[in-house]
Amino acid sequence: MPYLYRCRQCRAESPVEHPDRADAEAEQEHHRDTIHGGLAPLGGDGVHRVHAQARGARILPRHSFAAALVMLALILANCWGR
């Protein structure tokens, strides 16, 4: 399961999901060193596991969802036209 680093003080988040926790923790250290002078931010920060729902995993892929919406709109237009 992928991991993300989040800094609550400056609202920063990993630009990419890291496949393992060690990579996200390395990003945390780099962020602390470059932005917060090597200190932990007062607002807090941490490495978190990202679940499928949080990653935007959907029942239908984006294009399938759009196609389903178009089909629904056509069906409704046909019903109103009668």
Q: What pLDDT score was predicted for residue 55?
A: 54
Whether residue 33 is found in the same domain as residue 65: no
Same structural domain, 69 and 38 = no
Write the burial class of residue 6 (CB in 10 Å: 0-12 exposed, 13-18 middle, 19+ buried).
middle
Pair (18, 40) in one structural domain: yes
Decide: pTM greater than 0.85.
no
Note whether 38 and 77 are same-domain residues.
Answer: no
- 40 & 68 share domain: no
- Domain limits for position 82: 58-82
For the stretch 15-72, pLDDT in tens is 889 999 999 999 999 999 999 999 999 999 999 998 866 555 555 555 677 788 888 8
pLDDT of residue 65: 73
> d(Cα 26, Cα 21) in Å, to the nearest integer?
9
Provide the domain count of the chain.
2
